Amino acid sequence: MTYRFTVGNYGSAPFKNVSIKDDLRQTFSGTSFQVKTVRTLGTLNVNTAFNGTTDIELLQSGNTLGINQTQQIELVVNVSLISSTKTTYNNKATAEGESVTGLKATDESTNGLKPDPNTSGDVSPAEPTPIDLQRPKEFIPGGFSPNGDGTNDTFVIENNGFKRLSLEVFNRWGNRVYRSNDYKNDWDGRCTEGISIGQQLPEGTYFYIVILDGKEKHVGNITLKR
């Protein structure tokens, strides 16, 4: 997922030592995540060591923000979803700055729908940014390699919540070469239909129809490579 932070100086004096902190452990409690990239969309210098856990500072030290100036940075995070149930993750960052006289201002983020020009030290209103994520009930791979090496030898469809799966596979001429009304991730590339029953199918692109619990239909293609 991608977060975009906008920080602005709505006061009458420039800010120095601008800081943006985001503790992702609070956002993704109980869920594994990994920071992929942090980049600037303006002139702010980002902290490339930011990881959201042991280092929660998004900016390098020494950043400044002029009067009526706004800047943006972008954060990309990979989240490992466990459940197929929709989950809302609320993220909140804290920005700080210091005036030339040493007066510090702190503000918490809003959800991005409106700017937040509060007076110095006023951290309200704070509106966390909600993102709803849901792991799909299934993961259908783009191919497999039934060559007997013990890796990807069968066509495995990851089950994250459905009870029954049916699978039909067709070759490029539209002939059905495999069918199972209760698929158990055991297709090893052999033909189960027509005159070639029991034979290993040649390498190539095949087309599938997957139906989950008798109602949810998925159509696509897979590559068989030995």
pTM of the shown model: 0.59
Note the Cα 120 to chain centre separation in Å: 35
Give SS3 for 206: strand
Nearest C-alpha neighbor of 169 from the set 121, 106, 125, 223: 223
- Find how far residue 127's CA is from the centre of its chain: 22
Calpha distance 130→20 (Å, rounded)? 18
Structure-token match 């029953």, residue found = 197
Cβ pair 135, 185 in contact under 8 A: no
DSSP 46: B
**In 3-state terms, what secondary structure has residue 219?**
strand
122, 108 Cβ separation under 8 angstroms: no
* Domains by residue range for the chain, with CATH: 2-133 (2.60.40), 138-224 (2.60.40)
DSSP 41: S
Q: What are 11-32's pLDDT values in tens digits?
A: 888 999 999 999 999 999 888 8
Dump pLDDT digits (tens) for 176-225: 999 999 999 999 999 999 888 999 999 999 999 999 888 889 999 999 99
How far is 95 from 6, CA to CA, in rounded Å? 10
